[in-house]
Structure 1
Amino acid sequence: MHKSRLGVLVIDCRTDDLTQAAHFWSQALGYGLGKLDADGKYWALDVPADQIKVLLQKVEHEPRIHLDIETDDRAAEVERLKALGATPLGEVKRWHVLEAPSGHRFCVVNPQRPDLEEKGNSWG
C-alpha cells in the first residue's frame, strides 16, 4: 500500500525575471514571497504548512499551470496512474512527468508536506 495526494500547484513562467513573477503571484494569492532556489529556477511561495504548496518554475515552454502529486512511493503511484490512462513522459531529477488522457501534464514527486502519512489517500 502507498499514499498520495495533490501536493503542489506549479506555475510555469516563461520569463527572464522570476522575481517579478513571484511578486505578482504572492500578492495575487495572498502568500509571502518565500524563497528562490540556488539555481534561480524555482521560487516557493510562503504557504501555510497545512495547504497545498505553490511553486513558480522558470521554463522555456509556453506558460501554464501544472499539478504535482506527492507520494511515498513514486514507482507505485506512476503504475497506478498508468493504469488509469496516464502516459509516462520521462523522469527528471527526483520526479516523474506524465500526461493525463486529457493532455494535461503533471508530475509525481516525493512527499512535500509532513502529514502525507496521516492525510494522504491510501492505494493498493
Structure 2
Amino acid sequence: MHRSRFSTLLIDVPRDDVPAATTFWSGAFGVPANPVAGEEQFTNINGAFPGLVTAIQSIDGAPRFHIDIETDDLDAETARLIALGAVEISRWLDCHTLKAPGGHLLCVIPVHSDPDVFKQQATVWP
C-alpha cells in the first residue's frame, strides 16, 4: 500500500525567457514570484492554484507544462503509472521522469508538502 497526489504544476520555460515568463505568470495569476533558495532553476508562484505548488522551471528545451505527483513510495508509484502506460525516460536525484501516453511529462517525487496535507489529500493505492 502506498499513497500519492498531484502536488505541483510546473511551467517549463527556456532559460533566456524566464524573466519575462515570471513577470507574465505572476501577473496573470495575481501572486508574487519568489526564487527558491538553493534551487536556482525554480521560481515559485504559489497561490495561483490553492493546494498546489506552482512554479516556473528554467529548462534547456522547448516550453511546456508538466506535473509532479508526490508519493510516499517512489518505486510503487512509478510502477503503478508504468502499468497504466507511462514510460520512464530519466531519473534526477529522487525524481522519476515519465512520459504519459500522449507525450506529456510528469515527475514522481518524494513527499514535499505538509504531512497533514499529504495525508488528507493523497489517494491510497493497494
| Structure-1 separation of matches of 2:30 and 2:111 | 24
The normalised TM-score by structure 2 is 0.88
Secondary structure of 1:112's match? coil
| Structure-1 separation of matches of 2:62 and 2:38 | 23
Gaps of 5+ in 1: none
Over 3 Å counting, the alpha-carbon distance change for 1:49 and 1:24 in structure 2 is: closer
Deviates more, 1:79-88 or 1:40-49: 40-49
In structure 1, the residue matched to 2:46 is 46
Contact 2:22 2:56 in 1 (8 A): yes
1:7-33 CA-to-partner distances (Å, cap 9, x unmatched) read: 100000013252332221111112221
Contact 1:89 1:98 in 2 (8 A): yes
In structure 2, the residue matched to 1:34 is 34
Contact 1:37 1:43 in 2 (8 A): no
Number of residue-to-residue matches in the alignment? 124
What fraction of aligned residue pairs are identical, expressed as a percent? 34
The normalised TM-score by structure 1 is 0.89
| Structure-2 separation of matches of 1:65 and 1:34 | 19
Q: Which runs of 4+ in 1 moved over 3 A?
A: 36-39
In structure 2, the residue matched to 1:121 is 123
Residue 45 of structure 1 deviates from its aligned partner by 1.5
RMSD: 1.9
